[in-house]
Chains A and B, each alone.
Chain A
């Protein structure tokens, strides 16, 4: 059976081989390559042996440098930003590049308990044998400490505040006490934590300042320019086309540009030429959404169309991504459609396709 989506370490194994082969920098303990190579892996480019590295993060190299440099110190890294700016994506790739194992992952939710972060107990064993090391159920974090790897915590701010704070000792003293067994698990060199958190959602638990202090924060911004964003969408769509094995052609750059433009305009609340003010929808309209719109359009085209991406294939995805609230967003979208899309030269097809869907 084939895997739906390979993790970064599997997908880019060849890149890692090549990067390691030409690496000349100092390699910190527990890392598989030098920090410079990690940055190279993230930003892409040609290696000395002519091997081409695909860019993973399209944006400011300085941010990636800060992120990687943080992990060379003993501070943990917090990637912060609105949904869809590539926090988890960056976290996965940094981890894969540094340790080769991006699987030590804790998904933070409102229901994440202490036992998901520190350790749990096998209650059957606990009852029959009492507290023994065998009865201990380890967590990804504990495993990372023991093996000197990087643990990832997704959506840190969704975890309730008291549970968040269990991270404090682990991050500052690099040790996990197990009082029941009168022992502690000391982290091996190379251990660190990458957490992601978003600042848009309601009902998040702000980090306590004690915990904040254990993290270096990197805010991942929305793409600066339309060109940058088009580039991101193009790269990601091309790679998903490969993994999803869709019998569709790569979409025309022009189509991607239009989707990106719609998303940027709605996000910024103003048209690209800065002349018209637009209402923004309630949800986030990030690059990630733009990617999924193109992807779903492609699959429509592949299975129900002629394999070429047309506006009609994209329209439903587009509307679905933008209209999250059936009342408010529908108004925003309708306004945008009538005032911006309709009069725009060469956009008649999008207008008609969206109009046919009859939203609002």
Chain B
């Protein structure tokens, strides 16, 4: 019986090469790899041609997918390389470490202890490297650099390599150097020994253990620790946790972060390059760099590549290294290709050193139903999950684009941030633009939502209903309806509408209603493009409108300044929507309501002014009446502040009417000149508030007009040129009429 302990650095390319060589030499009949025992089963998938790294094993509690740990693998991760070898040679593979279930429980207990602190599930404590002490002594900047120099770039015999790793680690541990994870390691290593002992008892004759170098010394002598281990293991929490494991795609960007294996790597792209290239790796890397620069339109010649290579070599000689590391590469690239400038190196860092690769997971790996549905849907819609941003311009008249749009809207409801609305370059309701950028955490977010339903559709629906139940504002519900229509979630529409009905009957909040209706009206317009049945909605809108019609005048009574401002905006917005809605009976009723608001005593002048203007614009007054109304509002018996607010509401941010309507102009002109100096000074700030909102050009024209004073009421006939051809000019009138849709 022999146990071979291969101490590695997670994601270390050199370690991986040595592991492969050692496995070839040892030819074990059983392979143990660091990781919770739950993942043993799923490790069988390693080597499947459809499982393309970077991928990660996600270990989660099926009752609470949020509780999860990830074990990422790159193609050059020693664990991955070992598992692949094991599968290729058909030997059993087991994971040895503390079970994830125990970890979850421990974490839960810890959280309960100090519930105030909510730690991020994805990132555990950063790995404090005991090697750094050794590295400092040897004059290296980091422990990583020391390890790199001594173990990653050693080309000697692999068995000897692992023996020296064991000796170094044993020496370090005997020194009593602390690792940041010591406390955790006690439990973990006890369990590791347990698994290893079991394995030996199963009579495997030639066992290989691949684990983090730090753990190697702990696994050498099993019998000595046995009793102590039993005690430690007894103390571990024992509740049952339904742990599920699955493969999920990972990206290089995420590989460079801390996660389940503790060690994050800063340069996944560079490591992948080292793994794949045997000879001339440096030159090939530099030509990739040159290619990347050329793609972003920076002239980079072959001579640059040659010179960079020469400089990198010289640098590594000066730094007394026997290989060219990424540091030398970057320094040389900066000096030769980038004119000493760091900014361009960042491009290389993004594109090459980290890289944009994303892994793939075969379809037959067991998944959460929601995740499976998601993957099927995107496959059907021919969408790709890529880490690079992509723009989708959808034409909603096409079947597939419409389905995509539906999916995108549903994902938006699910709060999966894969897509972002982009501003469409093409105007028109049948066009939509989105940009997509995938990140692995989105898959986690999807798995996290798995409890909501088994399909994207049902999950989105569940969220909407959930939100609807919680909401007590019609406005919010209208927002939900607006979200659900483009997502074609009609089943819950009834629930939402019922809820609106229910709320509207008890709600006395007219502002809420006023704000909700425009949203609903917008939705009814959407319906046409999307071929969906919205007759119910129309009924609701009508009902709500009737409520507004009856309630509005009273709601406007006795409001203070702030609330009036809000009401004033709400009324303007609703007015716009009413014009769009195009239901004549309702429109007439609306005008009638506005009329009542306007003539009601005790309504804030800003609202009165606003309604007057809306009605005037809608040509609801004849000349005489409007004349009367305006002069009434401006009459000198009114408090000057009243008039000023009224004007603010009336002018509503547009001064055009003052320029073209001479009648109105004369009225206002007359009013202003009737003010005494004191009162004028007093009103100035108020007036300024309304006039300041006008366009600069408008203000200038008004100023010029004011210089001239009162205007002759008769519109001046523009004396036409003698050559003016009335007949020809008239010929375009029908076309213009057609555009304006007037007869």
> Which residues of chain B come closer than 8 Å to A209, judged between CB atoms?
299
Smallest Cβ-Cβ distance to B315: which chain A residue: A69
Chain A residues whose C-beta falls within 8 Å of the C-beta of B327 in the assembled complex: 62
Listed stretches A158-166, A214-222, A227-235; interface member: A214-222
A68 within 8 A of partner (CB): yes
Q: Are A65 and B318 in contact (CB under 8 A)?
A: yes
A contacts with B, residue count (CB < 8 A)? 23
What residues of A have a CB within 8 angstroms of the CB of B303 in the complex? 213
Residue in B315, B327, B332 with the greatest tally of chain A CB atoms within 10 Å = B315
Tell me how far the C-beta of B321 lies from the nearest C-beta in chain A, rounded to whole angstroms. 11
CB <8 Å contact, B315 and A80: no
Asked if B331 is an interface residue, CB under 8 A from chain A, the answer is yes
Q: Lowest 6 A-B CB distances belong to which pairs?
A: A217-B340, A219-B340, A69-B314, A216-B335, A69-B315, A73-B310
Whether B307 and A62, one on each chain, are in contact in the complex, defined by CB atoms closer than 8 angstroms, is no
Distance, CA A74 to CA B301, complexed state (A): 17
Contacts of B314 in A (CB 8 A): 35, 69-70, 72-73
Sample of 15 more A-B contacts, CB < 8 Å, known A36-B320, A39-B318, A75-B310 = A65-B319, A66-B311, A69-B311, A69-B318, A70-B335, A72-B317, A73-B307, A75-B336, A80-B339, A209-B299, A213-B303, A216-B307, A217-B335, A217-B336, A218-B335
Whether B311 lies near A73 (C-beta < 8 A) is yes
Q: B319 contacts which chain A residues (CB < 8 A)?
A: 65
- Determine whether B341 belongs to the interface, using a CB cutoff of 8 Å to chain A: yes
Chain A nearest CB from B328 CB (Å) reads 9
A305 to B340, CA, bound (A): 46
Q: Which of A68, A74, A75 contacts B318 (CB 8 A)?
A: A68
CB atoms of B304 and A213 under 8 A apart = yes
Determine whether A125 belongs to the interface, using a CB cutoff of 8 Å to chain B.
no
- B340 partner, pick from A36, A68, A80, beta carbons under 8 A: A80
A212 at the interface (CB under 8 A from B): yes
The minimal Cβ–Cβ distance linking A125 to chain B, given in whole angstroms, is 40
A219 pairs with B341, CB closer than 8 A:
yes
Given contacts A73-B310, A75-B311, contact A36 B318 (CB under 8 A): yes
Of chain A, the residue at the smallest CB distance from B312 is A69
Min distance, Cβ B150 to any Cβ of chain A, angstroms: 20
Pairwise interchain contact A65-B339, C-beta atoms closer than 8 A: no
Closest chain B residue to A63 by CB distance?
B331
The chain B residue sitting closest to A217, CB to CB, is: B340
- Docked CA distance A216–B333 (Å): 9
Closest residue of chain A to B335 (Cβ to Cβ) is A216
Taking a contact as CB atoms under 8 Å apart, the answer to whether B339 and A212 are in contact is yes
The complex places the Cα of A218 from the Cα of B332 at a distance, in Å, of 10
Tell me the nearest residue of chain A to B341, going by C-beta.
A219
| Docked-complex contact A35 and B318, CB < 8 angstroms | yes
State the Cβ distance, A118 to closest chain B Cβ, in Å: 24
Using known A-B contacts A73-B311, A75-B307, A75-B311, determine if residue A66 contacts B339 with beta carbons closer than 8 Å. Answer: no
Inside 8 A of A62's CB, which chain B residues have their CB?
A: 327, 331
Q: A35-B317, A65-B319 are in contact. Are A217 and B339 (CB under 8 A)?
A: yes
Partner of A218, one of B299, B301, B318, B340: B340
8 CB < 8 A contacts A-B: A26-B317, A66-B315, A66-B335, A69-B318, A73-B311, A73-B314, A78-B340, A213-B301
Contact with B along A180-213 (1 / 0, CB 8 A): 0000000000000000000000000000010011
How far, in Å, is B168 (CB) from chain A's closest CB?
A: 27
CB distance from B433 to the nearest CB of A (A): 39
Of the residues B307, B317, B320, B331, contact of A66 by C-beta under 8 Å: B331
Complex Cα distance, B691 from A293, in Å, reads 57
Tell me the dominant secondary structure on chain B's binding face.
helix
Q: How far is the CA of A69 from the CA of B318 in the complex (A)?
A: 7
Bound complex: CA A218 to CA B338 (Å): 10
CB-CB under 8 A from B304, the residues of chain A are 213
Q: Tell me the complex Cα distance, A26–B310, Å.
A: 17
Expressed in whole angstroms, the Cα–Cα distance for A80 and B334 within the complex equals: 13
Beta-carbon contacts of A52-88 to B below 8 Å, as 1s and 0s?
0000000000100110111011110010100000000
Q: Using a CB-CB cutoff of 8 Å, which residues 213-267 of chain A contact chain B?
A: 213, 216-219
Residues of A within 8 A of B318 (CB): 35-36, 39, 65, 68-69, 72
Contact with B along A292-313 (1 / 0, CB 8 A): 0000000000000000000000
| Nearest CB in chain B: distance from A111 CB, A | 26
Give the residue among A36, A68, A70, A212 with the most B Cβ atoms within 10 A: A70
Interface pair B331/A65, CB less than 8 Å apart:
yes
The complex places the Cα of A39 from the Cα of B317 at a distance, in Å, of 12
Residue of A nearest to B336 (CB): A216
Interface-centre pick from A26, A68, A72, A209 (highest chain B CB count, 10 A):
A72
User: A residues within 8 A CB of B299?
Assistant: 209
Interface residue ranges of A77-130 to B (CB < 8 Å): 78, 80
Chain B residues with CB below 8 A from A70, complex form: 311, 314, 335
Q: Taking each of A35, A66, A213, A218, which has the highest tally of chain B beta carbons within 10 Å of its own beta carbon? A: A66
Contact of A65 among B315, B334, B341 (CB under 8 A): B315
> Which residues on A sit within 8 Å (CB–CB) of B317?
26, 35, 69, 72
| A218 to B315 CA separation, bound complex (whole angstroms) | 14
Candidate in A209, A212, A213 with the most chain B CB atoms within 10 angstroms: A213
Chain A residues within an 8 Å CB radius of B331: 62, 65-66
Considering only CB atoms, which chain B residue lies closest to A216 in the complex?
B335
Measured CB to CB, the closest approach of chain B to A63, in angstroms, equals 9
Contacts of B320 in A (CB 8 A): 36
Query: How long is the Cα–Cα vector from A78 to B339 in the complex, in angstroms?
Result: 9
Residues of B within 8 A of A69 (CB): 311, 314-315, 317-318, 332
CA distance in complex: A217, B342 (Å): 11
Of B307, B311, B332, B340, chain A has the most CB atoms within 10 Å of the CB of B340
Most central of A65, A72, A216 by chain B CB within 10 Å: A216
Nearest-Cβ distance from residue B342 to partner chain A, whole angstroms = 8
> Which residues on the A side are within 8 Å of B334 (C-beta)?
66
Residues 284 to 322 of chain B near chain A (Cβ within 8 Å): 299, 301, 303-304, 307, 310-311, 314-315, 317-320
Q: How far is the CB of B696 from chain A (nearest CB, A)?
A: 31
- The answer to whether B341 touches A66 (Cβ under 8 A) is no
- For the complex, give the distance between the alpha carbons of A152 and B273 in Å: 40
Pick the contact of A216: B301, B311, B341 (CB < 8 A). B311
A36 to B316, CA, bound (A): 11
CB of A3, distance to nearest CB on chain B (Å): 33
Closest Cβ of chain A: how far from B332's Cβ, in Å?
7
**Cα A70 to Cα B299 with chains together (Å):** 21
Chain B residue at smallest Cβ distance from A71: B314
**What is the CB-to-nearest-CB distance from A192 to chain B, in angstroms, rounded to a whole number?**
13
> In the bound complex, what is the Cα–Cα distance between A69 and B335 (angstroms)?
11
Q: Interface readout for B553-573 with A: 1 if CB under 8 Å, 0 if not?
A: 000000000000000000000
Minimum Cβ distance to chain A for residue B612 (Å)? 49
Residue-wise interface mask of B (319-358) relative to A, using a CB-CB cutoff of 8 A (1 in contact, 0 not): 1100000010001101110111100000000000000000
- A39 vs B315: C-alpha distance in the bound complex, in angstroms? 11
CA distance A74 to B320 in the complex (A): 20
- Residue numbers in A under 8 Å from B311 (CB-CB): 66, 69-70, 73, 75, 216
Residues of B within 8 A of A36 (CB): 318, 320
- Nearest residue in A to B301 (C-beta to C-beta)? A213
Docked CA distance A62–B311 (Å): 13
Chain B, residue nearest A26 (CB): B317
User: Of all chain B residues, which has the CB nearest A79?
Assistant: B340
Residues of A within 8 A of B301 (CB): 213
Q: 1/0 per position for B460-478, CB-CB distance to A under 8 A? A: 0000000000000000000
Chain B residues with CB under 8 A of A218:
335, 340
A26 to B307, CA, bound (A): 21
Assembly CA distance A349 to B185 (angstroms): 59
Give complex CA distance A353, B331 in Å: 46
Cβ distance B303 to chain A, nearest Cβ, rounded Å: 7
Chain A residue at minimal CB-CB distance from B319: A65
- Measured CB to CB, the nearest residue on chain B to A73 is B310
Q: How far is the CB of A180 from chain B (nearest CB, A)?
A: 31
Complex Cα–Cα for A68 and B314 (A): 9
